Amino acid sequence: MTSQPASPARVVFMGTPEFAVPTLRLLLEAPRFRVVGVVTQPDRPAGRGQQVQMSPVKRVALTAGVPVIQPLKPHEPAALEQLRAWEPDFLVVVAYGQILRPAVLAIPRIAPINVHASLLPRWRGAAPIQAAIRAGDQYTGVTTMIMDEGLDTGPILLQDSIPIDPRETGQSLHDKLAPLGALLLVHSLEWLLNGSIAPHPQPDNPALISYAPPLKKEDGIIDWQASAVVIDRHVRAFDPWPGTFTTWNGRRLKILAGVPATANPGLTPGQVAETRGTALAELAPLVIGTGEGVFLPTRLQLEGRQPLDAAAFLRGAPDFPGSILG
């Protein structure tokens, strides 16, 4: 007699943004797992027109024919009833957007598993990708862990790290970590099923623990008193959201990209000048003074206008040099 293959492990997937999509797609393709249900945030207005849009995770789930629920809170009675009815072996959580209560965490037969975009306990919280770039970290990565009631405090299953490129942006790092997290999650589930992996507690050394709170639009305000290096990290980390900005002539001016330099042309923080006739002209046509060094914006967007490279922006705003920003 031949042995019958084990039934695929039942998975309920909880996630919302694009970061969660590679993990959901990989689970849908993995023969050892069956995604029996998806939980995602309710449809919300987004974009310039503020039209109601479904989450990226919902779009993938509906295309795959997987049932979807969108409770305001996953511990609502109706949501709990549906979660239990799905009888999951695993609850997989990837950037869902809410801290889960014990009643939800207790539902899966084997474990609730989270994919987090940092090397825990470094950068617990909602915005680890941006925090790693802003802090100047040389490495980051992804962690899979067993979920508990705390904020990213559960025992670790697997971790994988990658270097942070010197010109890394929030978007480019997101695009590297999302598929890495998907692979790590599938390995974690397979090895849990095989009994070949055991969770281990996170270090409790306060010196190793850091937090990355949720981002707000006002976090994008540029402090020109900071060094050019710090401002550069800020601009790159917050690309594409929430973006970084300053003010010019009473209007919001987005700084979409740029480069720092150690030159000292005698500018005060926030003061704008042209680089024509200087060594900095090879980098960009504009330079802004900072608390240490200078920042050369290469792409800007004035409120109500289209994004422009620095040369085009200067042609349309000849009075920009000599201004004090912020």
pLDDT reported for residue 5: 53
Give the tens place of pLDDT for each residue, 78-97: 999 999 999 999 999 999 99
Residue 11 falls in which region: left (phi positive, over 0), alpha (psi -120 to 50) or beta: beta
Measure the CA–CA gap between 284 and 273, rounded to whole angstroms.
11
Minimal CA–CA distance to 96: which of 14, 185, 13? 14
Question: What does the pLDDT average to over 57-75?
Answer: 97
Q: What is the mean pLDDT of the chain?
A: 95
Give the tens place of pLDDT for each residue, 98-132: 999 999 999 999 999 999 999 999 999 999 999 99
Query: Are 229 and 260 a contacting pair, CB within 8 Å?
Result: yes
Specify the pTM. Answer: 0.94
Task: Tell me the percentage of the chain whose pLDDT exceeds 90.
Answer: 94
Pairing of strands 9-15, 90-94: parallel
Measure the CA–CA gap between 93 and 74, rounded to whole angstroms.
12
Measure the CA–CA gap between 4 and 224, rounded to whole angstroms.
66
Measure the CA–CA gap between 70 and 186, rounded to whole angstroms.
24
Element (H, E) at 259: strand 251-261
Question: What does the pLDDT average to over 8-35?
Answer: 98
* Strands annotated E in 4-155: 9-15, 33-39, 44-46, 51-53, 68-69, 90-94, 111-116, 124-125, 139-146
